[in-house]
Amino acid sequence: MGNKFSCKAKNHSSNNGSKSSRRFGTNNNKSQRKLQATTDEELLHMQALSLAIQHHQSSQRFEGSMSRRIGSTSSRRIKNGDPQSNTTPKQQKQSPEVLENLETKKIVLIHGEGFGAWCWYKTIALLEESGMLPTALDLTGSGIDLKDTNNVTTLEEYSKPLIDYMQNLPEDDKVILVGHSSGGACVSYALEHFQHKISKAVFLCGTMVADGQKPFDVFAEELGSAELFMKESKFLIHGNGKDNPPTGFMFEKQQMRGLYFNQSPAKDIALAMVSVRPIPLGPIMENLSLTKEKYGKGRRFYIQTLDDHALSPDTQEKLVRENPPEGVFKIKGSDHCPFFSKPQSLHKILIEIAQIA
């Protein structure tokens, strides 16, 4: 029996506006005073953290909502050579009425290497507020999926939760796919096999590789060539013994902070540190087979993150130059995890892409 992995907002305030507190097994007065000062947003972080470390056996979906938006940021967009345009915070708020004429309101969020559905909790909340229908999936061996990552050897196996979702989608239904980082390879795989069910494919600082390339190639600037990495990296995991080829890798926490979270809030970094899992090597070392007849007909969009230390802006620019998508968007001040560092900017762009006819 599956359990839905949800993060629902609760009413934690009374009519007099006082902030509520929540006990976590301690009567310490100092801790109690700190909890009493906790805001709704901080409670949401705590709930997400609590849920992320519960290892249930099923539930491929992470869904949630919260009662208010989290700040405001700005983003810049380039599409088909048009000049960049700025938006004000007032323009960022979208109402369900504005979104009534979309081709689809279903948006499927695919996490990147080591992450899980849990990383999208801010994005899910904002999309639901705008009337969208978001679903976040745990890829095989990720999040709360219990499969041993050492046994995940192919991109097809790694992408199985997404493949199952697409196969179960009615023939006349469509979705928007969003793939973060190496999750972009899963989106490319889905485009090749389910192009007729995909309204738009969004690569979020993602591995938007061309036919014959492997997802790892995208990270060569930061990590070195695949061959060198497989021989010398200190982050490798030998799940089948030292005498056999490596099966995965896992960055040290300090390394992850510098590569992925250089602009992210401390609470989100803490959530990630207890939630990330080893990254299977097989799927990102696999050469993709993409055809013009299938993958080539898909509507692709790319979101660049301009303060990204894991996938540099220059590398992202090279990706869109060599494999041009329909539209390119940019988020200023975002690290490799805009769902943490710039959730409002990411949300605005996703809504804008959804509205493109």
Identify residue 143 by its one-letter amino acid code: G
Q: In 3D, which of 4, 6, 71, 9 has the Cα closest to residue 43?
A: 9
In the Cβ-directed half-sphere of 131, how many Cα atoms lie within 13 Å? 14
Q: Please count the residues of the chain.
A: 357
Q: For residue 347, what is the DSSP state?
A: H
In a 3-state reduction of DSSP, which class is residue 173? coil
Tell me the C-alpha distance between 173 and 296, whole Å.
20
Residue with tokens 């709360």: 144
User: Which residues are catalytic, by number?
Assistant: 181, 308, 336
Tell me the C-alpha distance between 219 and 310, whole Å.
8
CA distances from 224 to 211, 214, 219, 221, 231 (A): 21, 14, 7, 6, 11
Q: Residue 90 burial (CB < 10 Å; 0-12/13-18/19+)?
A: exposed
Tell me the C-alpha distance between 233 and 254, whole Å.
16
Q: What six digits make up the tokens of 153?
A: 């050897």
In our burial notation (b when 16+ CB lie closer than 10 A, e otherwise), range 131-158 reads bbebbbbbbbbbbbbebebbebbebebb
Strand order in the sheet with 248-249: 236-237, 248-249, 279-280
Tell me the C-alpha distance between 255 and 232, whole Å.
16
349 neighbors 303 (Cβ within 8 angstroms): yes
In a 3-state reduction of DSSP, which class is residue 7? strand
